[in-house]
Amino acid sequence: MKQDRQIDDLDRRIISMLQLDAGISHQDLAEKVGASAASCWRRIRALETAGILGGTVRLVDAAALGKGVNVLCNIRMRSHARDARSAFEQFVDGQPEIVECFSMSGEWDYLLRVMVADVADYNRFLMNRLLGHPSVAGAASHFALSMTKYTTAIPI
């Protein structure tokens, strides 16, 4: 259940620390933010209930798992009808290679971030699945040469 909740300075410090290390113990978190462990625990639960904090995950080194190629792919839709968009978004949700999808304003309708092993792997994905979707009119692919910044932390 999500509810409106104002966050204060202590909440901000807790959120900042959890974004750096979600596995930190309540006691260590309390020491770093200047509060008691019990207070930190209660605030974390309240932030979760309010929908401010989501599930805890571990970050994975994509290259170590053989998925070191990032492709940013612009998508142009054949139709902007609700059912076409819905079908495409359901398709996207079922593609593990697509790790991010944004509905866009401007010339392109969607921006996808696709993680694959290599160019051949992306070519197979693009030609056999993405361009085969009936809602897709076209795509433009941009291969990331390197990643100069990556963070999951939201500025607060």
- Provide, for the chain, the percentages of residues in helix, strand and coil under a 3-state DSSP scheme, each rounded to the nearest 5: 40, 20, 40
In words, the CATH class of domain 63-143 is: alpha beta
pLDDT over 70, % of the chain: 98
**In the chain, domain spans:** 9-49, 63-143
Helix 9-20, helix 26-33: angle, nearest 10: 130
Is the pLDDT score of 14 beyond 90?
A: yes
Per-residue pLDDT tens digits for 56-108? 999 999 999 999 999 999 999 999 999 999 999 999 999 999 999 999 999 99
Per-residue pLDDT tens digits for 105-129? 999 999 999 999 999 999 999 999 9
The pLDDT, as a whole number, for residue 4 is: 73
Contact 75, 103 (CB under 8 A): no
- Domain 9-49 and domain 63-143, same fold? Reply is no
Q: What one-letter code names the amino acid at 105?
A: S
Q: What pTM, to 2 d.p., does this model score?
A: 0.87
The pLDDT, as a whole number, for residue 24 is: 96
In words, the CATH class of domain 9-49 is: mainly alpha
Q: Give the contacts of 74 (CB within 8 A, at least 6 positions apart).
A: 104, 107, 108, 110, 111, 112, 139, 140, 141, 142
- Segment 139-144 shows an average pLDDT of 98
Reduced to 3 states (helix: H, G, I; strand: E, B; else coil), residue 14 is helix
The pLDDT, as a whole number, for residue 52 is: 95
What are the C-alpha distances in Å from 107 to residues 70, 76, 91, 113? 22, 8, 21, 17
The pLDDT, as a whole number, for residue 76 is: 98
